[in-house]
Structure 1
Amino acid sequence: MEFRPRNYVAEEQSHALPRSRADIHPLSSPSPQPILRQVDDSAENRTTEEFFDPLRAPDSNPSVEVVDENDFERSSNGIDDSVQVQTKEWTSFKRLLMQRFPVSKMISVSSMSNTIVRSGKAHEKSSSSTHLEELDDSQKSSEESAKVITRQEYVSRLHELKDEINRAWHNEDRVKSLKLSIKVARLLMDTSVLNFYPTLFVLVTDVLDMLGEMVWERIRQKAEFAEDGARFCSLRAENFGASDVPADAKETCYNWFCKVGTIRELLPRIYLELAIFPCWRFLIEQPAESLQRLVTMTRGLADPLASAYCRLYIAHRAQKLLSHETGHLITCVNDIKLIFTRMSSTKETARGGFDDSKRPLVSLMEPSVEFIMKSIFNDASPRRVGRVLVDLGIWRSQEELFCGSPCVSIVLHHLLKELPTDIVCFHALDILQLINCSNDNSYDQYLNYRLVGLRLSEQMSQIATVDAIVNEVIQVVSEYGLDEYLKVVDAYLDIILQNQMDGHLKTILECILKMASDKVLAEDELASLQSILVKLLSHFKDLEHVFSLNHFLQILDMMHGSSRSIVNMHILDMATRNGYVHDPTTIQLLFEISQALHSDTDLVNMKNDDNQQQARLISRFVRMVDHGAAYERHLEFLAECRGAFGSIIELKEILVHSSNCLATKALKDGQNHTGFVKSCIGFSEVTIPSISGHIKQLNLYLETAEVALLGGLVSHSDGLIDSAINCLQSSDLVEGSRTVDSDGILSSIRKLCSLLIMVPGNPEVGILHIPKSILSIIQSRSWSPRLRARLLCAIISLSATLSQERLPYHVDQPEIMGNDLLFFGDSSYVHELLSLMESVLPNLVDIIEQESSRAARGSMSLEACNCIASSFKINEHVLPICSKLIETAKSCLNANDKYLTSTISFLDKNLHAATVPSSITI
């Protein structure tokens, strides 16, 4: 057996591709042979050739959408889409309404809710022959004592009533369905439990909506089908008129409205007519005109809460008509404004307002204002917006803009929320004056100022008189408390920063510091302050500029909890996203910020995304710190980080990498830093054992050993390599039954073999002490045959390389002699290498035969054969092994396999150059 001699310099030159200097960048201009594409010129209807850059091209096969005019008309009308959108919005609104006003488990019900506490048997008496006058179920005496029922029982009873109405309807007992629906509607007369009323409204209107749909469908069926089932007309869902409806269907429809009209109580009568209100389309051409009558009827409802929600139901049912008329909605808003005005107490303050007992009622009525105002401005044109504002009393006329008359604050808030952004931007000063005039306490006034700021931020480029707006707002909010001040300022901060209003920014920060001094910040205040500081960090590109802002760091020190952590995370992100951090003062400040962030990190739940993000930011900060030529200070910084952030596992790896990088940098500056390099290696050597995962430790030991060699510290390198071998020996024992990272182990051992080429052999422990240790580990582990075979190939390649007259690379230190200089010519050295190979090669063949997969076994055979043929001369000792491996590959792979044919060709080439007769054929 004889190693194959290699000339690595000659091989590199022979395999290198020819190179020539490029005069221009290949992407800076069209290449000599541009890619051409056909361009259709629609104007001249001709074909030309044009250069096409595939890197900048859009979709090469753009799809052409063919639009049918009828489809466009249907889409532009948006009837089906509009209905679906309205349905989704109403469903979402109801869900949020119930969540917004939670109630206790037990609620008391008055005598008006006897339908709920009664047993189901009370409703079994009616029949289809019941007379019309039986529809009025007289109330029992209000003197009865209030009853207590659980919320779940109340809801369950309503669901039972809904099912009972549905069953009665499908059993042709429509009078019973109507009677039960009336009783359900009467429940809305009970406002004794205020917070339960929104939930009650949702449950009851679900029942009424169901009844309305059933009535609509019955009348439509009578209009389209005869009694024998024959269809004599078709009413297109959204385009029919009253003139298209047969008389019989009209009579049925009119009968339903008559039945509803005989209901004694006003509120159930309004709700039931609203439930079937879309059916007016079967009777009259302009059903929307009847809405004003119902709006007027609601003025007879004395209870403010019941009347507000009744108007809410009007807005909901009016959507079924798909009409753009908003007169009835404007009347609803004006009526609600009048109710609020009457509710306000003039006894409390000279300017009027709501006492504390009425504030919950105002809050409960707010959803009605919100939904109605949204309905008014839904898809409103600019001209219609002007008319609406005049009708609401906000504008005197469309020529004379916002007037100084006050508006109820809660109504104004939802008006501002729905106004088009361009109107808000253009009339911002007038709006601020209107807010100032509307000084009742139905709504916290600062929220209106805040809302204006948020709306203005939507289109900052369109804001007129920015200085005057900000001056007005700053003057007003300076009289508020800290919480209100922060919320308003937060809304205007983007405008202030965008327009570079440094004076206002300075004033705001001074005011915040003054208000927040000697005070423990509440959660709402912390949230607003967090938003303000994050906006500042997002606006400025330079972190040092942010730190130089007056009182920024003082305000930051006042924060605590999760809000402080979020701001700290933004600071670290900003500090490290633009390159290395050099300034010592900034580094110290960021270190303290990292300490604060680390102390808030939940070390037990490090799998949490937030905790992982905090750990990543701290690690990135440590990695991006650069003390320049102050190497000792940088190493001290790494030691401080190891003590401060020792629980962050990934940071320990970064510390080792940084220490090794620091040692390498010191070695490259041309001065004698041997002592410092030893300190860096000692730092890494102490840090590595605290890192979990033996494969990670192995790689870090190898990296540190490479740095030690670079510094000429051979003894340190030997010790680090021994530590790496110990990690490899301990890997299976610690990792237990976990799946072994085969690729990781293979990569690490290959890296170790590459490093051993530079490491001088130690005759005291044996020149091949480390390769033999690796072989021992391979033989003692239950790794897969594929992994063990590849590891043996790595040992073969290492041995073949060490046998060469000239090694492919050396340590960049003249005083460190490679093995080619130390042992070449020593026959015992080469004999020891060959002796090792005599045991490795048969072992390699046996391991390959253990592979159960035929395809894998064939591939492994070819890989081993190529390795052996590259490492040894083909002689009578090596040829039988290669022949056996080729036969194994032939039995496992297709005869035309490219890897197989190329390997055989390579062997034949080597055989022709040797004296051994060829016995390998395809």
Structure 2
Amino acid sequence: MEFRVRDYEEEEAIYSLWPRISTIGDHPLITRNLSSSIKVDVADSGKNDFYDPLRMPTAHIQDNTADDLPCDEDPYLSAKEWASFKRSLMQKFSGSKLVTISSISDAILRRGKVYEISSAATHAEELDNPRKASEDGVKVITCQEYVSRLREFQDEIKHAWKADDRVTSLKSSIKVARLLLDTSVSEFYPTLFILVTDVMDILGDMVWDRIKRKAEYVDDGTLICSLQENFGTSDVCSDAKETCYNWFCKIGSIRELLPRIYLELSILRCWRFLHEHPWKILHRVVMMIRGLADPLASYYCRLYMVYCAQKLLSPDTGYLVACITDMTIILRRIISEEETMSKRLVEHNVSLISLLEPPLEWIIKSICMEAYKKRQYEDIFVKLQLGRGLSNSSGTSECISIIIHHFLKELPAELVCSHASFILQLIESANDISLNQYLNYRLLGLKLSEQKSRVDNVDSVLGTVFQVITQYSRLDEYVKVVDAFLDIVLQYNMDNYLTIILDGISIRTRSKEITGNELSSLQSIIVKLLAHFNLVEDVLALNHFLEIIHVMHGSSRDVVNMHILDKGTRNGYICDPTTVQMLFDISQTLHDCPDTFSVKADHNEQQAHLISRFVQLVDYGAAMERHLTFLVECRGAFGRISELKEVLVRSSNKLAMKAIKDANNPVDFVKSCIAFNEVTIPSISATAKRMNLYLETVEVSLFSGLVCHADGLVYSAIDCLQSVDQSEGLLLQNDSNGVLSWIQKLCSLLVIIPGNPEQGVAYCPGTILALVESHSWITPQLRLRVFCTILSLLATLSQNKLPYHAYDAEVVGNDRLFYGDPSYHQELASLSSSVLTKVIDGVLQEPNRVIRGNLALEACNYVLSAYKATSEISTICSKLMEIAKSCLNANDKYMRNTVKYLDKHMSNTLGDATKPVVST
């Protein structure tokens, strides 16, 4: 068998494409006026069902301002919001595991499992009752048992109702409502409020459904009418009205005030059956609640009233204003005479105010929702005596800090921006124990930062705020306020305030351990600075910036370091040596963190990617030896990052190529780069990455004329595949095309690399052949294609002129090195004969018939392209075609084309007298 002689230059000329001609005309997606012959105007066709994603729909954009409320939006706080509010309330005030109960909670005392503990073992703060603490014993119950008992009451009410025993349901409900009289354990009261009002809601729903059914049906079930959502009293029959009135009379006869109020509130919406304007009842209820002396009980009673009043769809906000006014009076009484109170009493009042805050928050949210709907913020401020109003802000009255806080939280940002000076005056006037004043300054800053538009008197506002906060000695308060105002400082480029902020942080962080809350605020400040400046060098140059970073620790320090790395790698190559060293130190801190690369996989992957990107972007310019030293330092510093090792090798190859193109650099530097790769690549665990890097480095070696290095790297690449174990091999089976690509690339490089006279030119191809035969994970399909690749390699090496040579002219190709050497061609022919035998066996090993047939055709084409047409080759091809014919359909296009090519090839070579090898 002889290899086919090929003229690669002539083949390239024959099979090359015709000269390419650029197209004429615009891109079809460019918007342009169509000619008059094609009258298609999509924009004005009057059809709205066409949407062009490449066209800016500016003509159809509607300018919806932030003040416009959609017409179908519910102006009241939804049931979903109420449910969320209740969950947060129970989580915030979960209380202790044991609940102290008094004689007021007689229902719980009689039926619940009760324990007695000595007063000495009970904290006075939990009891919140000096008289109770002096008793010999205190009765307690677990929270779980308390809740279980209330669930029993709930079931009793439902069962009695289903049994038409309305009296028992009402009596049980009264017992449940009486529990809210007990405020002795204040921390448990919010939870108790939620549990009791859930029972009240159940009773209210059952009463409502009963009266509504009486209004719609007679006793025998005959439908009278169907009440609409907005029904009036004229739509309700007298029987239903009488039943409704009877319920209010029963509730009105309850002796104790608080249970009577809660029961009436539970059926409050039933007033719709009796009055055309049921919300007018709310004024009477407000007056009744004023009779509750206990602040805690009265606050939460008002909260339930506001929740129930929403079901009346009241157009009047008077009851809300009255509630806030009454609650303010109570708050003033609690915080009054602060200077004369003992420290313990002040702490008690602060604790009490925290319990009163949730009702205050919900009611303020409700009143602001109404004000937003009606655009009556001015009116609300006047009615609540919060200054003279937004339009005339020349004077303000003394306000309570916590009330200002929750109003400010609910006001729209645009309103706060346009009246910033007035709101600042309100905050300045509110300085009491109800809420730390810095929280209001912080909230003001956050509100002002929400709007990108001009802030009213921004310089004056900032000047006033900074005069106050510079007096703060605590770092936590200082950083929280400046963090809120930093966006405005950066937006208006107020460098003087930025200097004040950084100086203030530096002073307050000296000789002080930073707490978690302070770290969070410092992190936010630094991230905002990094986002504002375009270059990381500008941020690093800020006064005290590096000093502030050094005092940070833990996860906040890691987050800041990641943001600095991200910023440093966003603007292309990093050339400044100082910046490189700074980012290197930051990367090393991240890498050496104990938590890094251990728990949070996504977070750690991001860190590894940032460090790798930093190393990839470093550029020392002409100082290439310093760059290689940097890569060596990175390999030692970041040994745990697998991704980085690949970056290091590619960077080293890039340096080598740069040195090759630079005539002033000696070849020794290129050798150093390749030696660096030879040490680094074996430490990479993934076989695929190792193979790709070995092949890439072989190309660099050949480009620089380093044949010995190229030989060693080729052997290393073969060893890399040889060392694949069974488990990894099964994974590589899924990427058989990738494995074949490596071997094909390796064979293409062997065309350039001169053969070793001692080992023989067929040594490397033979080693590859032995490799694919020895591994069981290599599939028959992959094995056959490797055989065909080796055949192509041997056929190429047999040519008198190779298709390509090394870039370096000093690398002598095999066509010149072994020219006219008969032993060279004999060695190639011997190996090819062995491979050719394995090709047919490889085809037969494939179990799938269709794949086996296609492999036979593929092998036949390889053989025809590699060998001259001889009788021996004709016999081999005939066997392959018979296999294909037995496995594939006779009309298979691939098979028919192969038959035509085979007949033509054999006829041209052996003569016209030769009969076709295979007929269809």
1:353 and 1:441 in contact (8 A); partners too: no
- One-letter amino acid of the counterpart of residue 38, structure 1: V
* TM-fit CA distance, 1:909: 3.8
CA change 1:668–1:399 in 2 (3 A) is closer
- One-letter amino acid of the counterpart of residue 915, structure 2: P
1:316 aligns with 2:307: yes
Tell me what 2:763 maps to.
769
Give 2:754's match in structure 1, choosing from 754, 757, 760: 760
Q: Distance in 2 between matches of 1:625 and 1:571?
A: 15
Tell me what 2:457 maps to.
465
Quick check: 210-219 or 32-41, which moved more? 32-41
Q: Distance in 2 between matches of 1:898 and 1:98?
A: 75
Q: Among all aligned residue pairs of Structure 1 and Structure 2, give the percentage whose two residues are the same amino acid.
A: 54
1:694 and 1:730 in contact (8 A); partners too: no
1:291 and 1:328 in contact (8 A); partners too: yes
1:858 aligns with 2:853: yes
Tell me what 1:70 maps to.
none
Quick check: 198-207 or 619-628, which moved more? 198-207
Tell me what 1:283 maps to.
274
Q: Distance in 2 between matches of 1:75 and 1:411?
A: 29
**RMSD in angstroms over aligned alpha carbons?**
3.1
Give 1:683's match in structure 2, choosing from 668, 676, 683: 676
Tell me what 1:822 maps to.
817
Q: CA offsets, 1:864-907, max 9 Å, x none?
A: 33323332334322233333333433444444444334433433
1:565 aligns with 2:558: yes
Where 1:330 maps in the other structure, the secondary structure is helix
CA change 1:841–1:551 in 2 (3 A) is same
Q: Could you tell me the TM-score, scaled by structure 2's length?
A: 0.91
* TM-fit CA distance, 1:463: 1.1
Tell me what 1:56 maps to.
54
Tell me what 1:267 maps to.
258
* Equivalence map 1:664-675=2 (5 Å): 664-675=657-668
CA change 1:422–1:696 in 2 (3 A) is closer
1:807 and 1:820 in contact (8 A); partners too: yes
* TM-fit CA distance, 1:384: 1.7
Q: Distance in 2 between matches of 1:447 and 1:590?
A: 36
* TM-fit CA distance, 1:736: 7.2
* TM-fit CA distance, 1:190: 1.6
Tell me what 2:174 maps to.
182
1:918 aligns with 2:916: yes
* TM-fit CA distance, 1:356: 1.4
* TM-fit CA distance, 1:697: 2.2
1:377 and 1:419 in contact (8 A); partners too: yes
Q: Which runs of 5+ in 1 are unaligned?
A: 64-73, 123-141
CA change 1:104–1:883 in 2 (3 A) is farther
Tell me what 1:3 maps to.
3
- One-letter amino acid of the counterpart of residue 858, structure 1: G
Q: CA offsets, 1:464-500, max 9 Å, x none?
A: 2111111111111111121111000001111110111
Q: Distance in 1 between matches of 2:880 and 2:336?
A: 101
* Equivalence map 1:716-755=2 (5 Å): 716-732=709-725, 735=728, 740=733, 741-755=735-749
Q: CA offsets, 1:188-240, max 9 Å, x none?
A: 1222222221211111111111111111111111100111111011101x210
1:304 aligns with 2:295: yes
Where 2:756 maps in the other structure, the secondary structure is coil
Quick check: 350-359 or 5-14, which moved more? 350-359
- One-letter amino acid of the counterpart of residue 779, structure 1: E
2:113 and 2:145 in contact (8 A); partners too: no
1:842 aligns with 2:837: yes
Q: Distance in 1 between matches of 2:47 and 2:141?
A: 82
Quick check: 563-572 or 817-826, which moved more? 817-826
Q: CA offsets, 1:541-593, max 9 Å, x none?
A: 11111111111111111111111111110111111111110111110111111
1:662 and 1:680 in contact (8 A); partners too: yes
Tell me what 1:229 maps to.
221
Tell me what 2:772 maps to.
778
1:601 and 1:611 in contact (8 A); partners too: no
Tell me what 2:784 maps to.
789
1:542 aligns with 2:535: yes
Q: Distance in 1 between matches of 2:599 and 2:693?
A: 23
Tell me what 2:241 maps to.
250
Tell me what 2:614 maps to.
621
* Equivalence map 1:629-668=2 (5 Å): 629-668=622-661
1:343 and 1:354 in contact (8 A); partners too: no
CA change 1:30–1:450 in 2 (3 A) is closer
Tell me what 2:204 maps to.
212
- One-letter amino acid of the counterpart of residue 749, structure 1: I
1:428 aligns with 2:423: no
Q: Distance in 2 between matches of 1:121 and 1:220?
A: 40
Q: CA offsets, 1:507-526, max 9 Å, x none?
A: 11111111111211111111
Tell me what 1:39 maps to.
41
- One-letter amino acid of the counterpart of residue 773, structure 1: T
Q: Distance in 2 between matches of 1:420 and 1:29?
A: 43
Q: Could you tell me the TM-score, scaled by structure 1's length?
A: 0.90
CA change 1:218–1:900 in 2 (3 A) is farther
Quick check: 809-818 or 848-857, which moved more? 848-857
* Equivalence map 1:327-726=2 (5 Å): 327-348=318-339, 355-378=346-369, 380-381=372-373, 383-397=375-389, 399-401=391-393, 403-480=395-472, 481-600=474-593, 602-603=595-596, 605=598, 608-726=601-719
1:113 and 1:187 in contact (8 A); partners too: yes
CA change 1:866–1:821 in 2 (3 A) is same
Where 1:356 maps in the other structure, the secondary structure is helix
Q: Distance in 1 between matches of 2:542 and 2:111?
A: 71
Q: Distance in 2 between matches of 1:392 and 1:308?
A: 17
Q: CA offsets, 1:78-107, max 9 Å, x none?
A: 5xx668x70111111111111122322222
Q: Distance in 2 between matches of 1:436 and 1:779?
A: 86
* TM-fit CA distance, 1:17: 4.3
Q: Distance in 2 between matches of 1:354 and 1:456?
A: 37
- One-letter amino acid of the counterpart of residue 907, structure 1: L
Q: Distance in 2 between matches of 1:288 and 1:351?
A: 44
CA change 1:53–1:862 in 2 (3 A) is farther
Q: CA offsets, 1:146-171, max 9 Å, x none?
A: 42222222222222222222222222
2:398 and 2:429 in contact (8 A); partners too: yes
Tell me what 1:150 maps to.
142
* TM-fit CA distance, 1:848: 2.5
Where 1:4 maps in the other structure, the secondary structure is coil
* TM-fit CA distance, 1:300: 1.2
CA change 1:738–1:532 in 2 (3 A) is same
* TM-fit CA distance, 1:739: 5.9
1:806 aligns with 2:801: yes
Q: Which runs of 5+ in 2 are unaligned?
A: 61-68, 115-133
* TM-fit CA distance, 1:789: 1.9
Where 2:41 maps in the other structure, the secondary structure is strand
CA change 1:904–1:239 in 2 (3 A) is farther
CA change 1:211–1:704 in 2 (3 A) is same
CA change 1:465–1:58 in 2 (3 A) is closer
* TM-fit CA distance, 1:805: 2.7
Q: Distance in 2 between matches of 1:457 and 1:353?
A: 39
Q: Distance in 2 between matches of 1:75 and 1:550?
A: 48
* TM-fit CA distance, 1:707: 1.5
Q: Distance in 1 between matches of 2:796 and 2:570?
A: 44
CA change 1:528–1:776 in 2 (3 A) is same
Quick check: 877-886 or 327-336, which moved more? 877-886
1:107 and 1:193 in contact (8 A); partners too: yes
Q: Distance in 1 between matches of 2:277 and 2:826?
A: 109
Tell me what 1:20 maps to.
21
* TM-fit CA distance, 1:625: 0.6
* TM-fit CA distance, 1:682: 1.2
* TM-fit CA distance, 1:601: 5.1
1:695 and 1:727 in contact (8 A); partners too: no
1:362 and 1:442 in contact (8 A); partners too: yes
1:89 aligns with 2:81: yes
Q: Distance in 2 between matches of 1:323 and 1:576?
A: 58
Quick check: 291-300 or 241-250, which moved more? 291-300
1:169 and 1:177 in contact (8 A); partners too: yes
Where 1:461 maps in the other structure, the secondary structure is coil
